[in-house]
Amino acid sequence: MKRIIALIGLFIMSLPTLLMAQEEGTYIENLGAQDSSYLDDSINTVAPATGSNTVIIVVVVVVVIAVAAFFLLKKKKK
């Protein structure tokens, strides 16, 4: 008798779990799609900024264009 009562008690206690079994999937809390984000939040790794090379790039481009323009002008003058 005690066993039967214990079994019934166990069944009643496990009812919430059995009911929950119908809802065993996943609920996703946050689904919103952002309009803007910061690089740190991104899924993918983003290449670091290369700003330290800026001065070198500026100098190289400036010199190349200046030299090209000079030769072009000199040639036309002749």
Partner 1 sequence: MNNTSNIFSARNVFFASLILAGILLAFLAPNAAVNVDEMLHYPHAKQVVNWYFTGGKDVSCLDTPTSNLKYYGQSVDNFTALVNRVFHIQNEFLTRHLTGAFFFWLLLVFGGLLGKELTKSYWTSVLVVLSLLLTPRLFGQAFGNLKDIPFAAGYVAGILYIIRILKTFPKQSWRNVISLAIAIAFAISVRAGGLILFAYLALGILALFVVKPFLLKYIVSTKSCIVRLTGQGLTIAVAGYFLGLLFWPFALQDVFRHPLESLSMMEHYAVSIKQIFNGEVLWSSNLPPGYLIRWIWISTPEFILVGLIYYIAFLTYKFTKPGEQLFLGLFALFTLVFPVIYVIAIGSNLYSGLRQMLFVVPIMVILAVFGLQSMIQILKKWQTRLPCILLFFGLMLFPLFHQAKTFPVDYVYFNWISGGNKKAWSNYEYDYYFHGMKQATDDLIAEIGDKSAVVAMNCQLPNYFEKHPNINFQYTRYLERSSFEWDYGLFGVNYIHPWQLKNKTWQSAKIVKTYYHKGNPLVVLIKRGKKTDFEAIQAIKDKKWGEGELLIKDALETEPNNVWLFVNLANIRLAQAKYNELDSILEKGRTIHPYYEPFYLLEAQKLFDLNDYEAANKVLQQLNGVNPRYSNAAPLMKKVNEKLNNKSN
Residues that bind partner 1 (CB under 8 A): 22-28, 30-44, 46, 49-52, 54, 57-59, 61-62, 65-67, 69-70, 72-73, 76-78
Q: How far is the CB of 18 from partner 1 (least distance, A)?
A: 14
Nearer to partner 1, 8 or 59 (CB): 59
Residue 76 to residue 72: CA distance in whole angstroms = 6
Give the whole-angstrom CA distance, residue 73 versus residue 65. 12
Nearer to partner 1, 13 or 27 (CB): 27
Distance of alpha carbon 60 from alpha carbon 69, whole angstroms? 14
Whether the CB-CB separation of 46 and 39 falls below 8 Å is answered with yes
The pair of three-digit structure tokens given for residue 17, joined into one six-digit string:
């779990």
From the CB of 6, what's the least distance to partner 1, in Å? Answer: 31
Q: Which is nearer to partner 1, 18 or 41 (CB)?
A: 41
